[in-house]
Amino acid sequence: VMDSAVAAFCLEVIAKHGEPAPRLCNKDPLTLKMGSYMLDLFPNAKFLFMVRDGRATVHSMITRK
């Protein structure tokens, strides 16, 4: 029950974010911690792991609003 509620919440947030798109791109490095859970919630999802310059990642995290 909890997983379906979390999945519904995620889909609602995505839907309210803007026009529908064929792909969702989330560049938040903290999302990586939730990767396996997201795969449980959305078993048909495909993930692309991109490696970024660590300095740019840290700068992004520090200056985040």
Length of the chain: 65
Is 18 within a domain? no
| Boundaries of domain holding 50 | 25-65
**Predicted model pTM:** 0.61
pLDDT, residue 33, reads 86
Percentage of the chain with pLDDT > 90? 29
Please count the structural domains in the chain.
Answer: 1
The C-alpha atoms of residue 15 and residue 23 are separated, in whole angstroms, by 12
The C-alpha atoms of residue 2 and residue 28 are separated, in whole angstroms, by 23
Is 35 within a domain? yes
Is 52 within a domain? yes
